[in-house]
């Protein structure tokens, strides 16, 4: 019995499916994580490129959009255990261009831009109440890194009752081993893992079906 069969035999990997009100969360696609000499590398550049049409889809569909950035104080007064483990994160301050969203994924009025200092997009932020006010039930997730802030955000999305959908080609990591392992594990335990093509087919297929019945 291979690994996938073991999970299936034990009842893992069931699909959660899309609900009625999706939102898009883009995690930490900032200049510092796009730079392989800083925090980037691996397949992060390709994930950013793949997220451009995903964001355009969310705009067309009128989904709420949230984007996160890691931002510490200039004087390091808000340093924490995350920055103790990865001290270079303290360089991501508001004044540092490395903390800015990548140009390809610009925000628009009405988006929620979250400054965070820990891996989860939910911990200590307004994300959960903002999604609840918008009556969101499904959170489509892109960003980086798959093994870090994506994983933490997926777990907290599930804990808050939002259906997590991880878009496999729109999340990236500086190392492909952790990327692939975490996609597999999240798909078995915490989220639906779909490609952007599958998301497009599902969303646009439903829209076409609705138009055909009107």
Q: Could you read off the pLDDT of 83-94 as tens digits, one per residue?
A: 999 999 999 999
CA 34 vs CA 98, 104, 130, 161: distances in Å = 9, 11, 27, 31
Tell me what the mean pLDDT of segment 182-210 comes to: 89
Q: Can you name the residues that pair with 27 across neighbouring β-strands?
A: 68, 143
CB–CB of 193/199 below 8 Å? Answer: no
Taking the domain 20-212, which CATH number applies?
A: 3.40.50.850
205 or 171: which carries more pLDDT confidence? 171
Catalytic residues: 149
pLDDT at 141 over 90: yes
Domain range list for the chain: 20-212
Please give the pLDDT value at position 209.
Answer: 45
In the chain, the percentage of residues whose pLDDT exceeds 70 is 96
Q: How confident is the model at residue 205 (pLDDT cuts 50, 70, 90)?
A: confident
Residue 170 belongs to what H/E stretch? strand 163-172
Mean of the per-residue pLDDT values for the chain?
A: 95
- Strand arrangement, sheet containing 163-172: 112-116, 65-70, 22-27, 138-144, 163-172, 192-194
Q: What is the pLDDT of residue 207?
A: 57
pTM: 0.94
| Of 45, 43, 24, residue with least CA distance to 183 | 43
Q: How confident is the model at residue 45 (pLDDT cuts 50, 70, 90)?
A: very high
End-to-end CA distance of the chain, in Å?
49
Q: By the 8 A CB rule, do 50 and 170 touch?
A: yes
Q: 47-50, long-range: CB within 8 Å, 24+ apart, which pairs?
A: 47/142, 47/143, 47/144, 47/169, 47/170, 47/171, 47/172, 48/102, 48/104, 48/105, 48/172, 49/104, 50/142, 50/167, 50/169, 50/170, 50/196
């Amino acid at each position: 019995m291979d690994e996938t069969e073991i999970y299936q035999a034990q009842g893992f990997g069931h699909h959660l499916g899309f609900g009625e009100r999706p939102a898009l969360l883009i995690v930490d696609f900032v200049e510092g994580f796009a730079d392989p000499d800083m925090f980037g590398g691996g397949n992060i550049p390709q994930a950013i490129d793949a997220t451009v049409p995903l964001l355009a889809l969310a705009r067309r569909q009128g989904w709420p959009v949230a984007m996160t950035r890691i931002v510490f104080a200039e004087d390091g007064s808000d340093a924490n255990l995350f920055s103790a483990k990865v001290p270079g994160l303290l360089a991501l301050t508001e004044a540092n261009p490395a903390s800015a969203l990548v140009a390809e994924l610009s925000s628009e009025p009405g988006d929620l831009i979250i400054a965070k200092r820990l891996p989860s997009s939910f911990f200590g932020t307004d994300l959960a109440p903002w999604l609840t006010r918008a009556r969101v039930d499904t959170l489509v997730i892109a960003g980086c890194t798959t093994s870090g802030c994506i994983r933490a955000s997926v777990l907290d999305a599930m804990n808050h009752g939002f259906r997590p959908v991880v878009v496999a080609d729109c999340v990236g990591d500086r190392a492909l081993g952790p990327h692939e392992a975490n996609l597999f594990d999240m798909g078995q335990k915490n989220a639906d893992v779909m490609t952007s093509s599958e998301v497009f087919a599902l969303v646009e297929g439903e829209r076409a079906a609705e138009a055909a019945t009107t």
